[in-house]
Chains A and B, each alone.
Chain A
Amino acid sequence: MEKRVTFNERWLPYLLVAPQMVITLVFFFWPSGQMVWQSVLIEDAFGGHSKFVWFENFIALFEDPAYFDSVRVTVVFSALVAAVGLALSLLLAVMADRIIRGSSFYKMILVWPYAVAPAVAGVLWGFLFNPAVGIVSWSLKGIGIDFNYVTNANQALALIIIAAVWNQVSYNFLFFLAGLQSIPRSLIEAAAIDGAGPGRRFWDIVFPLLSPTGFFLLVVNIIYAFFGTFGVVASLTQGGPGQATNILVYKVWNDGFRGQDLGGSSAQSAVLMTVVILLTVVQFRFIERRVHY
C-alpha cells in the first residue's frame, strides 16, 4: 500500500518549506545574483563610479595565464584530496568495522579531527612542518630530507593536501562505517561459506553495496576540495610559493577582498560556480547510473 501524506490546508506545505526557501533566497540566490551583476562591471572599491563592460572581466580572466595555473593547481589538488581522502577513510572504516575490542575508542579518535576547523588544522600542520621550528621537518632533516614548504612548490602542495585530507577523513569515515554496518551479515557469511576469501568478499559484495555511500562522499569531497579547503590554504601557504597552492577559491578571495578587484573576482566566482554545478550534474547523471542503491 502506498503511504501518502496529504495536506488539507492549501497553505500549510508552503509555510513548511518557506523557512528553507527564505534561507536559500537570502543566502544563495541574492548574493549569487549580485555576483553575476558585479562580474559585468568595472567598479572602484568604494562604489563611487562603476562601468558596464559586458564580458571584459571574463575575457581578461581567460587571457591571464595565472588563472590557468590556478585551474591546474585546483584540478590536481581536488582530485588528490578526494581520492586520497576516500581511499584512506574506506581503509580505516573497514579496519574499524572488524575490530571487536575497544572499537568505540578507535572510532572516537578517528572522528576527532572533524571537530577541528580547517583554519586551525592549517595552523597545526604549519607548526609541525615549519621549516625553522617544526618537529616533523626537523625529524625529516634527520633522515636527510630537507622539507621546506615555504620555498618548495611540491612540498607545499603536498602539505595542504595532507592537512585537507586529515580534516575530512573523519567525515568520510563516519559515512563509510555506517554504510559497512548496514550491509547484511548474511550476505558476507553466505559468500564465506561458498569459499570467497576476504579480498573477494570485499570487492564483490561490500564494495558494490557501499557504492551509494561512496558516490555521495565523492560529490561532497569534491565540493569540499573546491570550497571547504580555503581555511587550510589561507592559514598555511597563502597560495605560495609562487602560484603553487593558489587554488581557485583562494584566488577569488584574494583578488576580491585583498585586492579590491570586485569585477574580476566576481567573474572568477561565476566561473567557479558554473564548474561546480556542471560537475555535480555530471556526477549525478553519469556516475550515479553505475551505482547500486
Chain B
Amino acid sequence: MSRIMLSSIAAVAVLASAQGAAAQTEIQWWHAMGGALGEAVAKMTDQFNKSQSEYKINAVYKGSYPETLTAAIAAFRAKQGPAIVQVFEVGTATMMAAKGAVYPTYQLMADEKEPFDPKGFIGPVYGYYSTTDGKLLSMPFNSSTPVFYWNKDLFKKAGLDPEKPPQTWPEVGEAAKKLVASGAKCGLTSEWQTWILLENFGAWHDLPFATKSNGFGGLDTQLVFNDAPRIKLISMLQEWTKDKRFVYGGREGKPTAMMNAGDCGMELASSGTASTLLKTLKPENVGIAMMPYDPSVRAKPQNSIIGGATLWTLQGRPKAEYKGVAKFLSYVSSPAVAAKWHQDTGYVPITYAAAKLTEESGFYKNNPGRDIAVKELTLNPPTANTKGLRLGNFIQIRDIEDSELEAVWSGQKDAKTALDEAVKRGNEQLRKFEAANK
C-alpha cells in the first residue's frame, strides 16, 4: 500500500472521530406514516431537533404498519434495531411478550428521570397500552376511534332531517330503508368491520370481547364475542345486505371509497377518515356523530376503544440514546405538540391537556364533529370490557373474523355459525400464542 493511501486513510479516520465527538447523538425512529401524515411527522421531528442540540431524531418511513413491525423485528434480531418503532395496536401483545426486546416507557421515564404524568392521558388511550396495574408500556402517538358519518345531501333526498343523525341501531335501520327507497345505492357501510362491528360494538355496550378482561389478565384468555347482541347485530346486517340497506365494501379502509363516491348515506369509520370525507364530499355535506347503540342491550353507551399506533422503545441501543428517547417521548406527549398533531391529522388527542388546548383554540367550533371521537372515548370511565384488547396473534384473529364475516355477507353462513366458527378458530390462535410465549 502506498504511503499516500495510508496517510489519507489516517486522515479520514481522524476526521471521522472528530466529527463523532462533535455530532449530536442520533436516534432512529421507524414509523409507518406515509403521505400527509409523514409530512406531519417530519414537521414534528424537525421542531424537536431545533429545540435542542444534544439529540437528533431521525424519522424513517418504513412502509405499512406490518412492514414497519417486520423491519424492526428483523433489524432487532440482527442487532441493528431502531431506538423507537411505531407499532399498531394489534401488535401490542406481540411487543409485550417480547421481554428483553422492549424498554417499557414507564421504566424508561423513571430511569432517565423524565417527568411523566400517567393521569394526564385520556383513559382508553392509556389503558390500551398499560399493564393491568397501570404502568405504561409504550407511548401513545396516533390513536383513533370509530365514529358515525352521514351524507346530508342523501339524507335530504330521502326526506330525512339532514341535521339529525340516527342515534340507535333501530333508527339507523329506518334511515337506511328511506335512503334505499329514495334511490341511494347503499344505506350504510362500515370500515374495519372487525374493529368497529365486533370490538367496538362490544365496548360501546360494555360486553367482553374475550375473557380475563379482554386478555389484559393473562395469555390464557378465550374469545367470547359470539354473544347474543353481536349475533343479533350481524344477522340484522345480513338481512340488510339483501336490499342494500347495508353494503359490504371490503376490508380495512376500503369501504370509504363508496362513501366518497356519494353512494352511501351512512358510514361507520375511523375518526381519522374525517379529513378524506370532508375533502371529497365538502364539509357542509358530511355530519359526524357518535356510533349508534342498541337500546335493548344497554340503556346508554359505555365508551369506545381505540385503534392506531404507539411508540415502542427497543432495547439494545447505546445508553446515551435513551436519555434522548425519553426527552423525545415527553415532547411528543406535551400539550402543544399533541394538540397540533390531533388538529393536523384527525387522530384523537392523547392527553386531556391537548384536548383542552384544542377546545380553547376554537378548533372544534370551526370544525364541527372533530371532538366526537374524544367524547366517545371519555363518555364513561373504562370498565374491564372497555379498556382495550390484548390478544396474541391478533392479526390472524382479525383475518379469521374478516373471512367469517365475509361468509355472512355473501350469504354462505348465518351470523351464529360464522361467529361461533370465528371464536373457535380465533381461540386456536390464542393457544398457539400462549404456547410460544410461556
A residues neighboring B (CB under 8 Å): 42-48, 51, 60, 64, 66, 130-133, 150-153, 238-243, 254-255, 257-261, 263-264
Please state if A45 and B393 are interface contacts (CB–CB under 8 Å): no
Please state if B101 and A66 are interface contacts (CB–CB under 8 Å): no
Q: Give the distance to chain B from A238, nearest Cβ to Cβ, in Å.
A: 7
* B185 and chain A: residue at smallest CB distance: A132
Please state if A130 and B257 are interface contacts (CB–CB under 8 Å): yes
For A131, list chain B residues within 8 Å (CB).
249
Stretch at the interface among B40-48, B131-139, B153-161, B400-408: B400-408
Please state if B100 and A240 are interface contacts (CB–CB under 8 Å): no
For A42, list chain B residues within 8 Å (CB).
435-436
3 closest Cβ contacts across the A-B interface?
A: A46-B101, A241-B406, A46-B98
Please state if A259 and B396 are interface contacts (CB–CB under 8 Å): yes
Which applies to chain A's interface (DSSP): helix, strand, loop or mixed? loop
Task: Supply 7 A–B pairs (Cβ within 8 Å), ascending by A.
Answer: A44-B97, A64-B428, A133-B257, A150-B250, A151-B248, A242-B406, A260-B70
For B396, list chain A residues within 8 Å (CB).
255, 259, 261
Please state if A257 and B70 are interface contacts (CB–CB under 8 Å): yes
Please state if A242 and B73 are interface contacts (CB–CB under 8 Å): no
Please state if B98 and A45 are interface contacts (CB–CB under 8 Å): yes
From the candidates B69, B395, B403, name the one contacting A242 in the complex (CB within 8 A).
Answer: B403
Q: Give the distance to chain B from A274, nearest Cβ to Cβ, in Å.
A: 23
CA distance A254 to B428 in the complex (A): 17
CA distance A240 to B250 in the complex (A): 9
* B436 and chain A: residue at smallest CB distance: A42
From the candidates A64, A132, A243, A255, name the one contacting B249 in the complex (CB within 8 A).
Answer: A132
| Cβ of B212 under 8 Å from chain A | no
Please state if A258 and B395 are interface contacts (CB–CB under 8 Å): yes
Please state if A152 and B402 are interface contacts (CB–CB under 8 Å): no
For A255, list chain B residues within 8 Å (CB).
396
For A258, list chain B residues within 8 Å (CB).
66, 395, 399
CA distance A151 to B248 in the complex (A): 7
Please state if A150 and B254 are interface contacts (CB–CB under 8 Å): yes
For A45, list chain B residues within 8 Å (CB).
73, 94, 97-98
Of A151, A238, A254, chain B has the most CB atoms within 10 Å of the CB of: A151
* A152 and chain B: residue at smallest CB distance: B410
For B428, list chain A residues within 8 Å (CB).
64
Of B66, B67, B263, B403, chain A has the most CB atoms within 10 Å of the CB of: B403
| Cβ of B258 under 8 Å from chain A | yes
For A130, list chain B residues within 8 Å (CB).
257
For B248, list chain A residues within 8 Å (CB).
150-151
From the candidates A43, A48, A132, A241, name the one contacting B410 in the complex (CB within 8 A).
Answer: A241
| Cβ of B276 under 8 Å from chain A | no
| Cβ of B340 under 8 Å from chain A | no
For A239, list chain B residues within 8 Å (CB).
399, 403
CA distance A264 to B393 in the complex (A): 12
For B402, list chain A residues within 8 Å (CB).
240
Q: Give the distance to chain B from A164, nearest Cβ to Cβ, in Å.
A: 20
Please state if A60 and B407 are interface contacts (CB–CB under 8 Å): no
Please state if B261 and A132 are interface contacts (CB–CB under 8 Å): yes
For A152, list chain B residues within 8 Å (CB).
410
CA distance A188 to B437 in the complex (A): 69
Please state if A151 and B97 are interface contacts (CB–CB under 8 Å): no
Please state if B76 and A46 are interface contacts (CB–CB under 8 Å): yes
For B69, list chain A residues within 8 Å (CB).
260
Of B94, B399, B402, B437, chain A has the most CB atoms within 10 Å of the CB of: B399
Of B98, B402, B410, B425, chain A has the most CB atoms within 10 Å of the CB of: B410
Please state if B410 and A66 are interface contacts (CB–CB under 8 Å): no
Q: Give the distance to chain A from B158, nearest Cβ to Cβ, in Å.
A: 19
Q: Give the distance to chain A from B309, nearest Cβ to Cβ, in Å.
A: 15
For A241, list chain B residues within 8 Å (CB).
403, 406-407, 409-410
For B101, list chain A residues within 8 Å (CB).
46, 48
From the candidates B258, B395, B407, B409, name the one contacting A260 in the complex (CB within 8 A).
Answer: B395
Q: Give the distance to chain A from B140, nearest Cβ to Cβ, in Å.
A: 22
Please state if B436 and A132 are interface contacts (CB–CB under 8 Å): no
| Cβ of B113 under 8 Å from chain A | no
Please state if B437 and A150 are interface contacts (CB–CB under 8 Å): no
For A44, list chain B residues within 8 Å (CB).
94, 97-98, 436-437
| Cβ of B412 under 8 Å from chain A | yes
Please state if B393 and A259 are interface contacts (CB–CB under 8 Å): yes
CA distance A34 to B73 in the complex (A): 16
| Cβ of B77 under 8 Å from chain A | yes
For B251, list chain A residues within 8 Å (CB).
238, 240
